[in-house]
Structure 1
Amino acid sequence: MHARAVAATTTALLGAAALLLPASGALAHEVAERPRVIAHRGASAYAPENTLAAVDRAERMGIDWVENDVQRTEDGQLVVIHDDSLRRTTDAEEVFPERAPWKVRDFTAAEIARLDAGSWFGPVYAGARVPTLEQYVRRVEHNHQKLLLEIKNPELYPGIERQTLKLLGNEGWLDRRHLTGRLVVQSFSADSIRTVHDLKPGVTTGFLGTPPVAELPGYATFTDQINPSYASVSRGYVAAVQALTGPHDRRLHVFTWTVDDASTALRAAGYGVDGVITNRPDVVRGALRGW
């Protein structure tokens, strides 16, 4: 059924959703499938997060999906980095000692390209760089991987949704092949995800968070996924999300984060989630192999 048709009854779903789902048929089969394994910021337990090295490490592990974070430089270039400050994952404090607090938006792309984004993780990664989004998607494409792209801190970067979509289009990521199974754009900002959906309705979108069950039908008008932290999720909540139909006339999916050990991965799979976002994709994949 469509999200709009269930608004009056959604509040009852949290406790009863498991009973409401059909015992057989396409939906039941889909829920029972093994969850996808998504490498969080690449295989970030084994290589510096959000670098091309982390993408490649995931590829060598045989992991199809990688997740990243996108922000914008002072001169308007999109770069892949999680924090809004360069301090934790680069040597910006040493290279530019007078420019605290080293915010991404206060540096040009050329300045950021000078920074070492690997030594903090280990000497073998010395010299790794903060990739531009263009460099990143080209590496993902080269590796035949799929991308869960997070628009980070969109309130800091007006228009970043349109800019991100334009770059993805220029790189060939908005064709049918990518839109039907290789790309999801997500954010903690509902407004940002709504903007992505309005600008390019064909893009699969995800909202990061755990909206109240009563509010889920509203989210289902513009997002295809509800992606909560593992600590906030339950079997009933997953079932309530999956009982709704999203903007592409498919049931909503749930990717949960961040799960790094086998026992938690198995519990998440038992909840019926569709994907598990992890820093240790090999561990999670191994745990779910017999699922």
Structure 2
Amino acid sequence: MLRPLVLTVSGALAAQIPALPAHAARPAAAESSQVVVVAHRGASAYAPENTIAAFEEARRLRADTFELDVQQTRDHQLVLMHDVTLARTTDVEKLFPRRAPWRVGDFTLAEIRRLDAGSWFAPRYKGERVPTLGETLTKLSGSGLDLLLEIKEPRRHPGIEGRIARELRAEPAWLRPGRLTVQSFDWDSARAFHRLLPNVPIGLLGAPSAGRLAGLSRFADEVNPPYASVTAQYVRRVHANHMRVLAWTVNDAATMRRLISAGVDGIITNRPDLLRGITLTARKRPA
């Protein structure tokens, strides 16, 4: 399985390992035909997104990696939430009816802890909470899953890159080789994070033009585009610049097979079980 490579970065662990640039130790992207199965916000087709339940379901369904979104509360705590507001995936409107538009950054962690983040998805998830990043890192540390961490809306959350770096240093298991990639749509934020933990692989969400790939590869390890923009030619150009390609978000078998044929290194999906089945079938075919 092709997994992102990362070196341990700080403290006593770092002192034991010679410092190497991340790119120096990175394998060529096209060396493996096996595709990384990334569970989008956890196994979010089957459990409420960005919750511990969704991440545990991803493990049960044999994902390789789980993806999550990190935002910052009013009191500078890190919580998992995709949307700018809490309205779609919690009962915030019921508990705080006068606090519209219910932006994540307008609430304290204590207030967010009161929210039900599961009932919107299914009654059996009633009482599921919005997890903090720290809780998630601790809970999933021994899961065997790797982590794709997205810095969400960083311009709304000044200083979030440093706070994420501190949380990761507090859980050094995630800084071992192959366990972590940090990505963002905001490439300036991704570059800022790279300066804080330069050996953690960086993913750029979006589809940069071919002319920009060489420059971006100086700090980035992955280009993670929407699936509709992915062609075999584009994948080859990214690989030629020693970066990987993870396409998102794909939930049907035909598109998964097309992307695998195009040479992507991973696929981000709400249905990791479907993608796992396709990868296992492909592996059994005679050469």
Q: TM-score range by the shorter chain?
A: 0.7 to 0.9
SS of 2:281's partner is coil
Deviating above 6 A after TM superposition, structure 1's stretches of 4 or more consecutive aligned residues are: none
Identity of aligned residues (%): 52
With normalisation by structure 2, the TM-score equals 0.87
User: 1:70-114 CA distances to partner (integer Å, 9 max, x unpaired)?
Assistant: 000000100011001000000000000000000000000010000
- The 5 A counterparts of 1:13-162 are 27=28, 30=31, 32-162=32-162
With normalisation by structure 1, the TM-score equals 0.86
Amino acid across the alignment from 2:105:
R
Distance (Å, rounded) in 2 between the aligned partners of 1:29 and 1:161: 30
2:276: which partner in 1?
Answer: 285
> Structure 1 residue 289: deviation in Å?
1.5
Amino acid across the alignment from 1:165:
A
- The 5 A counterparts of 1:190-209 are 190-209=187-206
> Structure 1 residue 29: deviation in Å?
5.9
Distance (Å, rounded) in 2 between the aligned partners of 1:157 and 1:60: 33
SS of 1:142's partner is coil
> Structure 1 residue 64: deviation in Å?
2.5
RMSD, aligned α-carbons = 1.3
Unaligned runs of 5+ in 2: 1-26, 283-287
Distance (Å, rounded) in 1 between the aligned partners of 2:136 and 2:55: 8
Amino acid across the alignment from 1:126:
K
Is 1:218 equivalent to 2:209 in the alignment?
no
Is 1:234 equivalent to 2:222 in the alignment?
no
Answer yes or no: is the 8 Å Cα contact 2:39–2:63 preserved in 1.
yes
Amino acid across the alignment from 2:216:
Y
- The 5 A counterparts of 1:178-197 are 180-197=177-194
Is 1:257 equivalent to 2:254 in the alignment?
no
Unaligned runs of 5+ in 1: 1-25, 245-250
Q: Which moved more, 1:129-138 or 1:57-66?
A: 57-66
From the superposition, tell whether residues 29 and 99 of structure 1 become closer, same or farther in structure 2 (CA, over 3 Å). closer
Answer yes or no: is the 8 Å Cα contact 2:62–2:276 preserved in 1.
no
Distance (Å, rounded) in 1 between the aligned partners of 2:29 and 2:107: 49
Distance (Å, rounded) in 1 between the aligned partners of 2:168 and 2:235: 30
> Structure 1 residue 192: deviation in Å?
0.7
Distance (Å, rounded) in 2 between the aligned partners of 1:146 and 1:54: 14
Answer yes or no: is the 8 Å Cα contact 1:173–1:183 preserved in 2.
no
Amino acid across the alignment from 1:101:
P
Answer yes or no: is the 8 Å Cα contact 1:229–1:256 preserved in 2.
yes
Number of residues of Structure 1 aligned to a counterpart in Structure 2: 256
